[in-house]
Structure formats: structure tokens, C-alpha cells
A and B are shown apart, each in its own frame.
Chain A
């Protein structure tokens, strides 16, 4: 197992290198000179002196690959540069924002799984019944619904009309009443995807021979479903959690912006709007590394959950 984890971590290195190259080169998408770009603030014009100083510091007068190596060296030392806006290290901003995003993602994921797994199971057991049809229509709507629209509708209903929950904001460090609406908004899309997957993998499991074996032993239908079928059907759903996290990270951009949630998505948007490019670079790289690492963790846990793979890996 440890061998496998080590092997996978070594395999990550090229992926992370590519991520760093892409993040590094993003700055070149902006029209104009990168030094000016990086020193440009909301007022638009860069101070020529600071541009010159910056150019020398980052080696922007040197060949491209040297620039990249200097940058990479800084990154590896935890130096992602400084926010033009606040003057404080980009890393600190990201650390703070990540806390908020992490909290939101976890609550969303819990909401998403708590809704989708039972619904997927019920749909599969009652295949083609009105309940199943309702769940699957709901799932289709959930996948197709723009999350920014859903967020605004929830805000309108619970915040404006009913007045049960605050319309937006972070509250006291992201308390429950402030997190609920953004988390539901964010969780709906992934719940729709997971419910569909749960349904199809449950249907597949219920059609297998070992289900008949369990019934032939005299096992009750409830245990056939909750033990024999579910144990198998959950495996693909667990692998999907990694993808789900990607979905949640993507959604966080919009949802955090609507609800004023101070996470990494909103930080990215704000930085783009403020032309705080060093921050943008830091954000995109951080998100990618996060995404890669989560997928690794899911991969490892998948191997832990499915005994067939565990055995193959051990051999």
C-alpha cells in the first residue's frame, strides 16, 4: 500500500510540472509586456520605475526558461509573489481563502451525498415507478440548471421573501446560517450527477448473480439491498467524489461571487477584475494542485475500498 502511494506520488511530479508551466504562462495571455502586466493595478498604468525593478527581480529580461526556473524556485520556497492590491504575500491570501472554500465544499459535498445516495437507491429499487421518474427528472433539471440562477432563486425565496436565512455574506467565520444557501446551491449539481450514477450502478449490482446467491441463503430483501448490492454499487460513486470536487471547485467561482463568500473562487474573480495578476497566477496554480492531490487521494481510497484492485496492486 505504501509502495503504491509512493509510486503514485512520484507519478504526480510530471503533472505538477505541467501545471506549473501552464500557470506560469497564463500571464502571457494578457496583451502587453508581462512585467507591466504584473505591476499593473486597477488604475491601469504601471509605475515605470517599479516595472524596471520588478523586471530585474524576476529576471524578465532573461530568456523564457530562465524566467520560469526563477519563478519555479520561488514557488517551491513558498513565495508566490505579492498581491499588488494589498501588498501582502499571495500565499497568505490563498491560505485564508482556501479555508472558506474548503468549509463550503465539505458542507456541499455532505448535502450532495445525503440527498443523492438515498434518492439513487430508491430510484433503482423502484425502477420506472413514479418516484423513479420524479427523481430522474429532478436530476436532469439539476444538471441543466445554471448554479448562479439557482443561487439567486434560493436567495430570493429564503432570503428575500421568507426571510429565514441571510441573503449573503460570511457571517461569523462562515456559520451555519450563512453557509446553508451557498452550500445547497453548490451541492445541487453534484447531487444530480451522483444520484444518476448511484441509480445506474445500483441497478447493475442488483442484476448480478451474487444477489441471487444472497437471496438463496434466505437473506431479507432489505439486507440484500443495503449490504450485498450497496457495497458493490458504492465503488463507482466513491471514485466520482474526486470529479465531484472538481465540480464543486468550478461551481465555487460563481457561488462564492453571488453569496459574497470569501473563498478561492471569489478571490480569483476579484483578482482578475483588479488586474492583480500575481494573485491570479497563485490562485489557478493552487486550485490545480488541490485538484490533482484530491484525485490522488480518491485513487488511493478507491484501491482501499475495492478488494479486487487491492489484490492486483499487491501482486
Chain B
């Protein structure tokens, strides 16, 4: 059973300089209990993908396509229904906990708010539940810490609070945006372990640029480049048999692969190159790459790639 199905999603932002095609025709589905990773460089549109599912985009954005979740298209439900979905059915853990937590509201209240809203608990019970959530994410002396403000927490602890907030109403799907960004190695390992544990029975869309984290957490991963997916498969398949030159480049830039960066920079999402979007940076480019935009093809069971030379 698939939990979330995204079909031909296009999220564009009109600007005076042209359309920013942040998400351009993306199709993917996430199974129940599956963790699906979307990996790519900064600015490839992966955060916008997550925000599109939550419908948390600025009003100027245009969204087309379908986002199927629990038998309905989320792009068509009312705003009131969508508010019920947010936090209760799908939770999003936004990136950068330091700026994503409200500095003037106590941590416990920030968690309890969602509980009161979705589960109709009274103030006291919601507070109690919030403390339990802090305990569940292994924050020591949770009852006291619930009364503290975000700046009294370390970076790793703030990330735990963000996770507790996301889990508070027991959503079936979690979208986590860069949950390990900016954390040092030991803390990162702890957070990865925590995420692994708390999302065991949930579907998760993990957005990251960190392949190491993706390898730990994901069942399947997709590589995203310039607004579209270029390759996806089971995690093992990707690591053992990467087919897209971008995927290979990305794997090659891992520390244990010698940190070889991909030459060139990702294109502006306003002026995308003709043909294959990766061709200006690709060492296997041929004429067809410059002229035709490659389609996603299935090269082995469950292994899809968008390249003429795969």
C-alpha cells in the first residue's frame, strides 16, 4: 500500500525575472512504513517538494499535478481540511531548529499546541502529553525542560524538540527536511538513531543532501537535480549500481570516496538548459543530450533513471 503518491507535481514561482521551476514534473510514491529519501544539492528544489505536499508555499506559487494521500488529492481539499491534515496526518519537521522554534513560547507549549488542536485535549493533559513526547525523544528531565525557552536548548536538543513536535499527534507520514544539518558527528549519529526508532512504523519522506544519513535511514532514495528526479531505486541498488552520471558524481563526492566534487554548478531554476538538464556538467554528454530531454526509464525492477546512456 502506498502512503503518499505524488503525480506530475509542478511547483513554480513567477518572479519578475521569469518562472522559477522549483519542482518540475515529479512523480513518486512512498509505501507505508517506508522511508524514502530525496537527495540533491542545495537549491535543487527538494525543500519546495516537501512544502508542496504540506501546501505551505507562499500564495504566489503555482502548483499543478496530484498529491494523493489517504484517498484524496491534497491539492484539491479545502484549507480547513488541509489544516487538519497538517500535524495530525502528515507532520513536517522543518530545517534549522534554531529559527524554526518560536523564541518567545515555551517549548512544552509549542508541542502541546498541536496536541490540543488535533486531539482535543485540555490544557493540562496536552501539557502532560508534551512532556511525554520530550521524554520519548530522550530529553533529560523533560518536565522541567518543557517550561524552558528554545534558546536554553543546544542544537541537538532543539532538533529533538522539533522531532517531538512532529510526532506529537502520531501522524502516519513524516516529512523531515534536513534533520541533521549543522549538527556535529556524534550528535548527528544520535539524531539518526532517534529518527530511525521513532519512524519505524511510519512512512517518511526524508529530504537531505547527506548521503550518509540517507544510507542509514532510507529504504529507497531518489536523486533530485534542477527540479526533477534523475534516478531512484532501492538504497542498496543505488550504492551498488549507480547509473546516472549525477548519482555517480554525488557518490564520488562522499568523504569515503575521496571527496571528488562534481564540476560546474547547478543551473538556475529560471533558465534551465535545453535537453538533459545535467548535460553542461556531464562528461558523457553527446549531441542527443543537448537536444532531447530524457524520459525516466526503468532499467531494472524498481530502478528508474533519466539518462540516454544508462
Contact = CB atoms under 8 A, between A and B. Distances in A.
Q: Is any CB of A less than 8 Å from a CB of B in the complex?
A: yes
A220 B83 contact: yes
A87 interface: no
Contacts of A220: 83
Interface in A256-315: 306-308, 311
| Interface size bracket, A side | 20 to 34
Given A216-B92, A217-B113, A219-B113, A210 B149 contact: no
B103 A307 contact: yes
A213 interface: yes
Interface in A179-236: 208-210, 212-220, 227-228, 231-232, 235
Interface string B86-111: 11100110101001111111000010
A216 B92 CA distance: 6
A217 B109 CA distance: 12
Interface residues of B, number: 30
B281 interface: no
Contacts of A231: 102, 104-105
Contacts of A212: 51, 56, 94, 100
Contacts of A235: 104
B290 interface: no
A218 B99 contact: no
A213 B102 contact: yes
A217 B86 contact: yes
A220 B149 CA distance: 23
A218 B100 contact: no
Interface of B: 51, 54, 56, 83-88, 91-92, 94, 96, 99-105, 110, 113-114, 117-118, 149, 151-152, 162, 165
18 contacts: A209-B96, A212-B94, A214-B102, A215-B54, A215-B86, A216-B56, A216-B91, A217-B87, A217-B117, A219-B87, A228-B102, A232-B104, A306-B104, A307-B149, A307-B151, A308-B103, A311-B151, A311-B152
Given A209-B99, A218-B85, A307-B103, 14 more contacts: A208-B99, A210-B102, A213-B162, A213-B165, A215-B54, A216-B54, A216-B92, A218-B84, A218-B86, A218-B118, A219-B83, A228-B105, A232-B102, A311-B151
